[in-house]
Amino acid sequence: MNCLRVLRISQQSSKNCYIPSQQQYRAFKRLIENESKKIGRKPKQKKGDVVEANFEPSSLEHFQVRFREDVKVPLRKLFKPFAFACVVTGSSFAGAAIWQYEGMRSKAISRALGQFNFFNTEKAGEFRQQIHQWFSGLLGTQKVVLGIVALNVGVFALWRLPFMQMFMVKWFSANPAANAVCIPMVLSTFSHYSLWHLAVNMYVLWTFSHSMERLFGKEQFLAMYMSAGVWSSFSSHLLKVLTSKYNPSLGASGAIMAVLGSTCFQYPDARLAIVFLPFFTFSAGTALKVLIGIESLGVVMRWAFFDHAAHLSGLLFGCYYAGDGYKRLWGNRIKMLEKWHEFREKPGKV
């Protein structure tokens, strides 16, 4: 009896089963074979792939690389990096203007609600209170500079990891012959391979943070810094294409040169000194002229220890911005902020 019941169930289930046709079976088989080939297929190789990097200390801002094949970059390939630099500049100043607007709006709201204390801002522990008191006493630009320093230190730590180095070469060093060209123009501004290079750049940036507060304020300073960094990278690209030397570059020197250039242009009579020679002082105007002369000579003579094209571009950008650029880039933000204000005042916006 049980055997007959099992037989009937098996017959009913066989009638309900779907049996594909021979044509459908062949199509399914071809699909499986194609997917199997894709899994075993190697990724497509490109000329701009870096297969080897030499980090010998022959230069602080360059290092030697070997590409998969010989590369030659025509000038027309620089149009995309040029457009990217324009977009980064516009986005930086637009974002900085919105940041300034939101900060002023937040302060206005805080003043209106000043009599109410909703949150307890007192830090637990004496050490935390001292850190909070010290950080609260910093200028706005100094706080931004501390963030830049922390980011640079973090990127430097990634360079120390052997399994990360080829990734860092691709994304955190600027090279017009590489497959990734645009994004590294920004990321390389926060990238240092040499500890000495990192320490000197961050010290100089911190030294000029106080003057940047007086000149620009934290929002405008950050926009200028980002813009100078990306245009310094583009100038480095241009010289490399013209000379057919495609060694990657990295470092914040171009952006820091813009900080130095804008300060020296605005305060030419200020007295400066070298950290190792504090007794030897000179005017900021003289330092600016000497630096422009040295960097120009380095570009003409093709000195390789520094990226002189990036340095010269940074200095000139800083002078232009302090002289007239801030009127065009920062002074015309009012119309954009009016539209942003209308957007923020719409019902439902907080």
> What CA–CA distances, in Å, run from 265 to 217, 287, 289, 324?
17, 10, 10, 11
The label of the residue with tokens 């027309």 reads 76
pLDDT at residue 83 is higher than 50: yes
Q: Which residues pair with 65 in a beta bridge?
A: 53
Query: In 2-32, which positions are buried (b, 16+ CB within 10 angstroms) versus exposed (e)?
Result: eeeeeeeeeeeeeeeeeeeeeeeeeeeeeee
pLDDT at 97: 92
Average pLDDT, the chain: 81
Say how far apart CA 184 and CA 74 lie, in whole Å: 19
Query: In 167-197, which positions are buried (b, 16+ CB within 10 angstroms) versus exposed (e)?
Result: ebbbebbbbbbbeebbebbbbbbbbbbbeeb
pLDDT at residue 6 is higher than 50: no
Is 253 catalytic? The answer is yes
pLDDT at 49: 56
pLDDT in tens, 293-331: 999 999 998 887 888 999 999 999 999 999 888 888 888
Q: Give the 3-state secondary structure of residue 45.
A: coil
pLDDT in tens, 140-172: 899 999 999 999 999 999 999 988 888 998 899
pLDDT at 22: 66
* % of the chain with per-residue pLDDT over 70: 75
Helices 253-266 and 284-301: crossing angle in degrees, nearest 10, is 140
pLDDT in tens, 39-68: 555 545 555 555 556 665 556 566 666 665
Q: Which residues contact 103 (CB under 8 A, 6 or more apart)?
A: 219
Which two three-digit tokens encode residue 281?
A: 């002082």
Is 308 catalytic? The answer is no
Q: Which of 253, 262, 308, 313 is catalytic?
A: 253
Q: Are 93 and 329 in contact (CB under 8 A)?
A: yes
Indicate the burial class of 126 (C-beta count within 10 angstroms; 0-12, 13-18, 19 or more). exposed
pLDDT at residue 261 is higher than 90: yes
Q: Taking residues 214-242, what's their average pLDDT?
A: 94
DSSP string computed for 130-147: HHHHHHHTS-HHHHHHHH
Helices 253-266 and 308-320: crossing angle in degrees, nearest 10, is 40
Q: Which of 191, 237, 311, 313 is catalytic?
A: 311
Say how far apart CA 72 and CA 89 lie, in whole Å: 28
Say how far apart CA 257 and CA 298 lie, in whole Å: 15
Q: Taking residues 81-107, what's their average pLDDT?
A: 92
Single out the residue of 310, 305, 166 nearest to residue 237, CA to CA.
Answer: 310
Chain centroid offset of residue 331 CA: 24
Say how far apart CA 239 and CA 339 lie, in whole Å: 40
